[in-house]
Structure formats: C-alpha cells, structure tokens
A and B are shown apart, each in its own frame.
Chain A
Amino acid sequence: MNILRAVLAKDLLSEWRSRDRLPAMLVFALLTVVVLRFAQPGGSLGGDPAQAPGLLWVAYVFAAVLGMNRAFALELENDALAGLALAPVDRGWIFLGKAASNLLLLVVAQITTAVFFSVLFGVDLAGVALPFLGIAFLGAVGLTAAGTLFAGISVRTRYREVMLPLLLFPLLVPLLVGAVQATAGLLADGRADPGALQLLCVYDAVFLIASFLLFEYVLDE
C-alpha cells in the first residue's frame, strides 16, 4: 500500500508541475466532442438522443489512451522505468499506483467533458448526475486497469503510440458495450440496465486482478 501511495503521489506531483497529460486529455476530449457535434446532421442529435452515450464514450476512450500512453512515456525519460523494475516490491502495487493516477486524471477529464457535452448537445445530465458519475467511474476503472497494463507492455516497443490502441481497443469492446448500454438506459428512463452494470463490474474486477498479477512480468526487459 505504501508503494501505491508513493507512485501515485510521485505521478500526481510530476503532473502538477509539468501539466503534461491532463491538459492534452482535456483538449483532445473536448475537440472530439466538438467534431462529433458538427458531424451530426443539422448540428444536433436530430431528435435521437440514443446516440449520445456512444459519442460521449468515444471521447472518453480517446482521452484515456492519450493520457495512458504519456504516463509510461514519462517513465522512459532517464530510464526511470528501470528504477521501478529494480524496486524490491510486488510490482502489482506499482501497477495500482500508476493506474490510480491514470484514473484520477481520467475522472477529471470525464467530468469536464460531460459538462461540455451536455451543453453542446443539449443532453440533460444534471438530473442524473450521481448515477451518471457512478457509471463513468466504473467505466474509467476498467479503462485504466486494462490501459495501464497495456501501456506498460507497449512502452518499450518502437511504435508505442500506435501499439497501445492496437492492443487495447479490441479488449475494450465488452467494457464499452456495458458503459454505453448503462449510460443509454440512464438517459432514456433514468435507470441503468443492471446487466450492463454487472458487465462493467465483472470487467473491472477481471482486469484489476489480472493486471495486478501480470505486471510483475510487464516490467521485465
């Protein structure tokens, strides 16, 4: 647990001083929302709010991948990744520290993007703010659990910026199905589909446990 806290504090302090990831994630997510807004016929959802959850989660996934790619690229500077690999600790805790910092940044990006999305598309998220945040959080946990693991795997490859989405996107399909369905249900009738929520919870648990265990080998050269 001390290692988790140490890695988390180190990552957040580095981010606070460099402002390297969050602004890029925010700008990217907001630009995605703007582009999607203008891509809609007539510049709106055209009376079909069922599209809103899908569009929103597309923006979330792009922002998350951008942030997680950068999170490990920073570890390559001065070969700090080797410093982590040398630490005499269960590397799963290093994973959790990195994932926690990715999660915090993603949640900030999600909230900001949701507000922007709500205004731009005229979708009322305020009335379902708390359950929406819960779904967004469950989705973010799965995104960061899988994304942090695969960012660690791809960081030493030559084409890491391309490699992470290539490895990650297929694995995100179940998560996105659950997140979009849950959000759609919430926006349509104020109640998220329990099956979709279960899918999100199972995905989160599977990837948290698997990533915790597999990270021991991810840091090996």
Chain B
Amino acid sequence: MTSAAASAGAWAVTAVGLEKRFGPVSALRPLDLTIAAGSSIAVVGPNGAGKTTLLRLLAGLARPSGGRLEVGPAEPDRRKRRAGIGYLGHATLLYPELTARENLAFAARLYGVAEPEARADALVKAHGLESFADRRTGEFSRGMAQRVAIARALVHEPPLVLLDEPFTGLDPEAADALAARLAGLHAGGRTVLLVTHDLARAAAFAERVVLLRRGALAADVERGDSEPHDFEASLRAALGGRP
C-alpha cells in the first residue's frame, strides 16, 4: 500500500470550480487550480483567505461543497488516495502521552509501513530528533513538536506533501534544515505544496506562488529563471506589498 503509493512518483492536482462553504460562509469560492506532478508550490494569503481550507480539501480531510477535485492518479478508492498524501496541519497530530519515537512508530503502523519501529528510528536520525526522541511529546516546546510532526507527515514517503505553516515555532537553524529537507523532497520528484505567510521562504522554495484572498485566487506567479530575491520582490509587487 505505502510502497505502491511511494513508487507511483509525484502526484498532480486538478481543481475545477472547487468550492467550500460552512453554512452561509464561503471559505473557498469556485477555484480552478492545476498543480503539475513534481512541482513545488506555495500558497500565500492573509488570514481567512482559505489557505487551510484548500489544504484540508486536498488532503481529503474535508469534502468539497462544489466543483471537482482530482488528487493523484484517478482512483475511486479513497484509502489509496490517502496513502499518497503526507499532511501537516496547524496542529501536530501527535499524542502527548506517547514519546516522539512511539508517535512515529504509530503513524508508520497506520500507513502500513513494514517494520514501523525501524522506520521511526530512521526518521529520528534523519530529522535530528535523537536528543528528545524518547520523551513524551506533551513535554515538548512548539518547535520540538513541530519537528516531530514534520517527520510524522513523511513517515510513509508520500508522493504529495501538503504542509500548513511548517516553519511555525522553528528556530532559524531548524527552519533552514526544514527548507533544505523540502528542497530535497522536491528534488526527489515529489509534489510539495506549502502554505505560509513567509514570502522569503515561499520565494526561496517554490517554483510557483499562488495568492488567495477572501477564498478566491488573487494571483498566480511563476518563478521562472529569477533568483529567489528577485522572485520575492515580484511576489511583493504582485501582492500589493502585503501577503
């Protein structure tokens, strides 16, 4: 299951008229968005723009109120679709009474990873979590928990990675390490979608930045050949000086 998802290569996303309403409130107005397989994309926008709603729809955590959404290969089985998605939301998805290593092993079991303990050990090492891997996550600072949560999102090596403000709570060193990891995931052929308020990070990482405002697509900017600094400047210009 997991290996099949991982070996399927990167996943593309197609949304046509995608819409989400909560009662009378439109969190996401009809939105057309295509994300090519293997691309790196950042979604920016002010609070309430619909970024998190979009991410939850893509992850399958919420059902669209209207429109069409295709995530990954055409697959009617929702379980197989979920197997290809690595998701990090605002919350860490961690159990506070379990240690970091136990949380990772539990997630590995949920995703059917062979030898979950070994996978948890490998993630602990790869993400530099050794010094606190056997402490309960309920005792962690936000930054420590965030690092474990990022490792958890990647436990099954998903072809589509969806991250909501992954730099939250990280110190500069850990944020740089995460940026390098995300670049590595993209270089490895995965599709990576990042929701962030940090335009500098978005410009440094993404090939393309999508701006949402009041639930609608306000701008869609490609990096092309420009340097991150120039890309950030063009983003600021596109966004009217504010994200």
Contact B110 A3 (CB under 8 A): yes
Contact mask for chain A residues 170-209; partner B; CB cutoff 8 A; 1 contact, 0 none = 0000000000000000000000000000000000000000
Q: Does A210 contact B (CB under 8 A)?
A: no
Contact A86 B59 (CB under 8 A): yes
What are 24 A-to-B residue pairs whose CB atoms are below 8 Å? Answer: A10-B98, A13-B97, A14-B97, A18-B97, A77-B95, A78-B94, A78-B95, A79-B90, A79-B93, A80-B91, A82-B61, A82-B87, A86-B59, A86-B60, A86-B61, A87-B110, A88-B79, A88-B82, A88-B110, A88-B111, A89-B79, A220-B63, A221-B61, A221-B62
In the bound assembly, the distance between CA atoms of A87 and B93 in angstroms comes to 12
Q: Does A125 contact B (CB under 8 A)?
A: no
Contact A86 B109 (CB under 8 A): no
Residues in B neighbouring A17, C-beta threshold 8 A: 97, 136
If the complex has contacts A78-B91, A78-B92, A80-B93, are A89 and B110 also in contact, measured as CB distance less than 8 A? yes
In the bound assembly, the distance between CA atoms of A17 and B98 in angstroms comes to 9
Residues in A neighbouring B188, C-beta threshold 8 A: none
10 residue pairs, one from A and one from B, having the closest CB atoms: A88-B83, A79-B91, A83-B93, A87-B110, A6-B109, A88-B82, A14-B97, A17-B97, A221-B62, A88-B79
Which residues of chain A from 77 to 107 have any CB-CB distance to chain B below 8 Å in the complex? 77-80, 82-90
Contact-residue bracket for chain A: 20 to 34
Contact B94 A80 (CB under 8 A): yes
Interface residues of A (CB under 8 A from B): 2-3, 6, 10, 13-14, 17-18, 74, 77-80, 82-90, 220-221
- In the complex, which of the residues A78, A85, A88, A90 has the most CB atoms of chain B within 10 Å of its own CB atom? A88
- Could you tell me the distance in whole angstroms from the C-beta of B88 to the nearest C-beta in chain A? 10
Q: Does B214 contact A (CB under 8 A)?
A: no
Q: Does B85 contact A (CB under 8 A)?
A: yes
If the complex has contacts A10-B95, A13-B97, are A86 and B106 also in contact, measured as CB distance less than 8 A? no
